[in-house]
Amino acid sequence: MKNTQQKTQNATREPQAGGFAVLGPYWPAMLVGALLLYTFVLVIATHLPKVGGLVRTPGIDKLLHFGAYFVQATLAAAAVAATGRLGRRNAVILIAALAAFGALDELTQPWFSRSAEWADWAADCLGILLGVSLVVLLAQRLSRSPSQGEA
């Protein structure tokens, strides 16, 4: 009985990393650091006035928006997953928070001689949704015990 209570207390105190435990104890902090650095660079890049070159190709900016927010969402979801807290509820909260960040990023671009477009934000949201979803699926796959096997 005492052993069971001790295990329960330990389980509530220490977050379990699930399938991401193989990454080691420093991965959550390193992923958060990478996320913060990437987000800083993303904000700077999306607020530079009138970028030419590749972006002039019709439709390429949507692909760039998708890719940029896919990377940000993947880093954010991986950071949460590395702590063992990326359940369905937190994944939805993360998607909503990143989508709000994307909307704010898009709405502030006109202040820097850039255009704000709904289609850009939609591409951001698709990248966010795919990035978080892939990490959730990977975390679920990694957290399966070997005895469960593949279906």
Per-residue pLDDT at 132: 98
Per-residue pLDDT at 62: 92
Per-residue pLDDT at 54: 53
Per-residue pLDDT at 115: 84
Per-residue pLDDT at 3: 57
Per-residue pLDDT at 26: 83
Beta-carbon contacts of 59 under 8 Å, excluding residues fewer than 6 positions away, are: none
Integer Rg of the chain from CA: 19
Per-residue pLDDT at 140: 87
Sites in the chain below the pLDDT cut of 50: 10-17, 151
**Residue 42 tokens, joined:** 């993303």
Per-residue pLDDT at 17: 47
Count Cβ neighbours within 10 Å for each residue of 121-137 and write b for 16 or more, e otherwise.
bebbbebbbebbeebbe
Per-residue pLDDT at 137: 94
Question: 3-state DSSP helix/strand/coil percent for the chain, to nearest 5?
Answer: 75, 0, 25
- DSSP letters, 121-133, are HHHHHHHHHHHHH
- Angstrom distance (rounded) from CA 62 to CA 54: 12
pTM assigned to the model: 0.77
Per-residue pLDDT at 68: 96
